[in-house]
Amino acid sequence: MPVSVQRSCTVGVQCNTQVATASGGTPAYTFGANALAGTTPFGLTIDSNGYLTGTPRNGGGYQFGICVTDAAGEKACGQVLVMIST
């Protein structure tokens, strides 16, 4: 269940972009931020479906961790790079 993607959002504009998908393992999958590998940009969160949602407040590049857990309890983590444009 590898996780690694790059996406972009814009400061002050509602962001709702998929930043993680999973395959293999046992569906259904649940996603969440991995606080040990950085934090999401201010104003944004990861929902349980792997989407980055919210309204970013600051521009720049942000790398943070995200994990996925499958129905059997297996867990995999990876990195996400998000560019916030101004």
Q: What is the pLDDT of residue 37?
A: 84
Domain 4-85, classified CATH 2.60.120.510, yes or no: no
Measured CA to CA in angstroms, residue 9 lies from 59, 74, 80, 86 at distances of: 9, 30, 13, 9
pLDDT at residue 6, as a whole number:
57
Mean pLDDT for the stretch of residues 21-27: 91
This prediction has a pTM of 0.85
The predicted model gives 49-77 an average pLDDT of 94
Q: What is the band of 25 on the pLDDT scale with cuts at 50, 70, 90?
A: very high
Using only C-alpha atoms, the chain has a radius of gyration, in whole angstroms, of: 13
Residue 3 has pLDDT above 50, yes or no: no
- Per the prediction, the chain carries an average pLDDT of 89
